[in-house]
Amino acid sequence: MVRTPKPISARSTIAHVAERAGVSTATVSRVLNGNYPVSKEARAKVAQAIDEIDFVQNAQAKALVQAKTGIVGVVMADVSDPFYSEMIGSIQNVCGANGKLLVICSTQGHSDVELSYLQVLRSQRVDAVIVLGGGSDDDQVQASLARQAAALAREGCRLVLCGRPAPDAGRDTLAVEVDNVDAARQATRHLMAFGHREILFLGGPRGSTTSRDRLAGFRFAFDEAGWASEQCTVDAGDFSRQAGYDLAKKHVLGGTRFTAILAASDFMAIGAIRALLSMGLRIPDDLSLIGIDDIPSASDMVPRLSTVRLPLSEMGRLAAGLALGLDRTAPLRPLGVSLVPGLTVGPLPASGEALIGRIAG
């Protein structure tokens, strides 16, 4: 006779399992929650009872007994942003090789949504959580993140941040950092090497750790050179292509003085290039431009986008290794970055003057 599998339901099942296994309901709860020591004999009885109730032992039953689901949660701002593709590829490779399934959550850059997803992933008893990209530098958000990390750790789940620093109170948080300060510093110095001193800096969202660090690197380069960064213009977007397009067009039409643009992400740089070309400007003859990240499409641009390469693939691999416990210690220092000169940065225009009001609305 073939028995029809019966799914395990929450309230009635504990008593049913306890009766079939010949143990107390408290023992069953301890086995399922994995938060108290239980003898091997009792654990085996509970596992056998679950097997008999379900007949075909499914993934849910195994997860209940082992307190593992085989799932790794990945939280990021925007799944459509190519900045994340190489990191996700590396994470997928590591997790796939270790029998783990990825669940991807997109926050659209909202810190409250990010914290909410961490709570949801906790409730699903995932094995680990990896959060990609920059985060909010707000003290309250940082404190909430530290509390979530502590709660995950108590439940045997690792939280790994990839591309941002760990919260000051985040003893339970592992972080794979990248040197965003040096990335912007190198990009700025590259523009300076071609004589550019009036630079339009297109940053990311205000309050973002990545935005903060890249703006700091931009200003640090001016301090090193003994030049005043006050002669430059700083504006903020959201790292998107549309933001790059809108901001570049706004400043050209508004008569802002600049000879070069430093976009805080390649995606913004690509949007800015589209805006400049649509207004009849030549790159780099009329204006120079550089981005940061070296996303895959940067090398497909014509001319090739000048940028600063972040080790995105390595970041993902290290984060996955930490999340799965394959590596125990996070890198002690932020990962290094490297300049990719490209072809979108050139000398000052022949006049040596900043672009100002040359394009009529």
> Could you report the per-residue pLDDT of 323-353, keeping only the tens digit for each?
999 988 888 899 999 999 999 999 987 766 6
Model pLDDT, residue 356: 55
Highest mean pLDDT among 49-63, 66-80, 152-166, 182-196: 182-196
* Domain range for 113: 71-176+314-323
Q: What is the mean pLDDT of residues 6-32?
A: 70
137 and 230 in a single domain? The answer is: no
In the DSSP assignment, the letter for residue 168 is T
Q: Does 3 fall in a domain?
A: no
pLDDT at 9 > cutoff 50? no
How far apart, in Å, do the first and last CA atoms of the chain sit? Answer: 81
Q: How far apart are CA 326 and CA 323, in angstroms?
A: 8
Average pLDDT, the chain: 87
pLDDT at 220 > cutoff 50? yes
207 and 155 in a single domain? The answer is: no
pLDDT in tens, 239-273: 999 999 999 999 999 999 999 999 999 999 999 99
76 and 168 in a single domain? The answer is: yes
275 and 229 in a single domain? The answer is: yes
Q: Which of 278, 306, 334 is the last residue of a domain?
A: 306
246 and 272 in a single domain? The answer is: yes
Q: Does 41 fall in a domain?
A: yes
How confident is residue 14, by pLDDT bands cut at 50, 70 and 90? confident
Q: Name which residue leads in pLDDT, 295 or 47.
A: 295
185 and 240 in a single domain? The answer is: yes
Q: How many domains does the chain have?
A: 3
Q: Does 126 fall in a domain?
A: yes
96 and 32 in a single domain? The answer is: no
In the DSSP assignment, the letter for residue 297 is G
3-state helix, strand, coil in the chain (%, to 5): 45, 15, 40
CATH number of the domain where residue 113 is located: 3.40.50.2300
Token pair for residue 216?
A: 């700091």
110 and 209 in a single domain? The answer is: no
* Range name among 152-156, 272-276, 356-360 with the lowest pLDDT average: 356-360
Q: Does 342 fall in a domain?
A: no
pLDDT at 56 > cutoff 50? no
Model pLDDT, residue 361: 43
Q: What is the pTM of this model?
A: 0.80
196 and 85 in a single domain? The answer is: no
Report which of 126, 109, 106, 117 is spatially closest to residue 145, judged by C-alpha positions: 117
To which H or E segment does residue 146 belong? helix 139-154
140 and 165 in a single domain? The answer is: yes
197 and 291 in a single domain? The answer is: yes
Q: How far apart are CA 47 and CA 78, in angstroms?
A: 40
Q: Does 196 fall in a domain?
A: yes
CATH number of the domain where residue 54 is located: 1.10.260.40
Report which of 94, 95, 103, 158 is spatially closest to residue 323, judged by C-alpha positions: 158
Q: What is the mean pLDDT of residues 5-23?
A: 65
Q: Does 238 fall in a domain?
A: yes
Q: Does 332 fall in a domain?
A: no
pLDDT at 35 > cutoff 80? no
124 and 33 in a single domain? The answer is: no
Model pLDDT, residue 216: 97
Q: Does 132 fall in a domain?
A: yes
pLDDT in tens, 110-150: 999 999 999 999 888 899 999 999 999 999 999 999 988 88
Model pLDDT, residue 55: 34
Other beta carbons within 10 Å of 196? 24
Highest mean pLDDT among 48-62, 122-136, 308-322, 327-341: 308-322
Is the distance from CB of 228 to CB of 270 less than 8 angstroms?
Answer: no
In this structure, which amino acid lies at residue 106? Answer: S
Q: How far apart are CA 70 and CA 49, in angstroms?
A: 22
Residue found under tokens 């993902």? 316
